[in-house]
Amino acid sequence: MNDLAGKHIVLGLTGGIACYKAAELCRALIKEGATVQVVMTEAAAQFITPVTMQALSNRPVYGSQWDAREPNNMAHINLSREADAILIAPCSADFMSKLLHGGADELLSLMCLARPIDTVPLLIAPAMNREMWAHPATQRNLMQLAADGATILGVGSGFQACGETGDGRMLEPDELLADVIAFFQPKLLAGKQVLVTAGPTFEAIDPVRGITNRSSGKMGFAIARAAHEAGAQVTLVAGPVALATPRGVQRIDVQSAIDMLQACVEQAPAANIFVATAAVADWRPAQASDQKIKKDGSGQTPTLAFVENPDILANVAQSGRAQAGDLFCVGFAAESHDLLAHATAKRARKGVPLLVGNIGPATFGKDDNALLLVDADGTQELPHASKLHLARQLVSEIARRLPNAP
């Protein structure tokens, strides 16, 4: 199912060169299942035409409070009452000032003022020159708008149309889409700090070779995204994978199991939830060569001695905070067979309240999965679905099991 299925978004455009991004944003919202009603200011129409936005949204574009298409001449009332959210992207510095002071001299600002605050949220994606963004007046306006209940989606940094470089660019359409999707997700972990490990580890044999596994990190990255969507502050400790960092997630890149353990030990004291999704190598070479091991033509193969890697999950789960119930630990078991038996045994061995099992060869590198949850009360299957969908289900199950959960 599309993440925005059934949602109706009013997309407001104000004057700024970032209006060109609004076209792609409109298209992205619709591809995720939303219906989009575009409302433009007169200044916005200087940067992109209503015809373009009408073609992309497949709905008439509104720009005047006197629009005769509304039988009661109350477009500001009708359009705002239909919306699940009003998203202003781009939102200029001038328009933010107008919103702050309750200005209502054209349709978009009038509609924002007339919206039912409790049921129609206002999302703002600022876009302006770096000096305008940094100006104390703009920052004061942003703080007050947030205090008044608006959601500020932030800005990007980089090259600007004026030729300068810095903060103030409107976020890219894919970033805004992720923020809008996250906005509508239940905030089951609001106020929580979540630590997630993801991906494989790489244990060096020499400077160019090593031992790893087929884990892609996709499940762990999906869990990090889902936890952020649920309102948590998320730190993601990632092994060597080629995946983009989920929006709003702090990422720490590591290579080996020793590196991952160190990062987890450093981050765990601040966490309320630890989800050990990473496929950590069980062993590593006892001594990595500092030079490439080369063939000598004798036909003899080098002898490698191995030592066991530290158990990251057990290490964190046995900490004082975890034992006191202040850190809820979730383990993962990627098995090739006998999933129930192995997952049940692993939960007992690790001493964690929740163990999540899956068949590794069936999911490594793929975008879908099926999970088996094992806790003290028994087992629960999460049927085959996308990893993001499963991650959201898992986050819900974790929230339900937390101490003092409602």
Question: Do 175 and 259 share a domain, yes or no?
Answer: no
User: What is the domain-level CATH number for residue 345?
Assistant: 3.40.50.10300
Q: Is residue 129 part of a domain?
A: yes
Tokens 């999460």, residue located = 382
The answer to whether residue 1 sits within a structural domain is no
Last residue of a domain, one of 157, 184, 211: 184
Same structural domain for residues 20 and 144? yes
Give which of 183, 173, 247 is closest to 25, Cα–Cα: 173
Q: Is 162 a catalytic residue?
A: yes
Query: Do 358 and 261 belong to one domain?
Result: yes
For the whole model, what pTM was predicted?
A: 0.92
Is residue 131 in a domain? Answer: yes
Backbone angles phi, psi at 60, to 5 degrees: -60, 140
**Are residues 39 and 166 located together in one domain of the fold?**
yes
Query: Length of the chain in residues, anyone?
Result: 406
Please name which of 248, 34, 221 lies closest in space to residue 154, comparing C-alpha atoms: 248
Contact 247, 372 (CB under 8 A): no
- pLDDT tens for the chain, 406 residues long, are 699 999 999 999 999 999 999 999 999 999 999 999 999 999 999 999 999 999 999 999 999 988 888 888 888 888 999 999 999 999 999 999 999 999 999 999 999 999 999 999 999 999 999 999 999 999 999 999 999 999 999 999 999 888 999 999 999 999 999 999 999 999 999 999 999 999 999 999 999 999 999 899 999 999 999 999 999 999 999 999 999 999 999 999 999 999 999 999 999 999 999 999 999 999 999 999 899 988 888 888 888 999 999 999 999 999 999 999 999 999 998 777 888 888 889 898 999 999 998 877 677 778 898 899 999 999 999 998 999 999 999 999 999 999 877 6
> Is residue 392, in this structure, part of any structural domain at all?
yes
Q: How is residue 345 written in tokens? A: 């045994």
Statement to judge: residues 32 and 58 lie in one domain: yes
- Do 105 and 211 lie in one domain? The reply is no
State whether 326 and 225 are in the same domain.
yes
Whether residues 150 and 218 share a domain: the answer is no
Q: In whole angstroms, what is the distance from residue 258 CA to residue 311 CA? A: 10
Q: Which of 112, 162, 264, 329 is catalytic?
A: 162
Task: Provide the token pair at 313.
Answer: 């999950």
Residue 3 lies inside a defined structural domain of this protein: no
pLDDT given at position 403: 86
Domain that holds residue 101: 8-184
Q: For residue 65, give the 3-state DSSP assignment.
A: coil
Domain boundary among 125, 151, 184: 184
Q: Within a domain: residue 71?
A: yes
Q: Are 307 and 286 in contact (CB under 8 A)?
A: yes
pLDDT at 297: 81
Spell out where 271-396 has E strands. Answer: 273-276, 283-285, 306-308, 328-335, 354-359, 368-375, 378-386
Backbone torsion region of residue 158, taken as left when φ is above 0, otherwise alpha when ψ lies between -120 and 50, otherwise beta:
left
Of the residues 184, 219, 248, the one at which a domain ends: 184
Same structural domain, 179 and 240: no
Give yes or no: residues 202 and 126 share one domain.
Answer: no
Looking at the structure, do residues 47 and 95 belong to the same domain, yes or no?
yes
- Provide the domain count of the chain: 2
**Domain CATH number, residue 17:** 3.40.50.1950
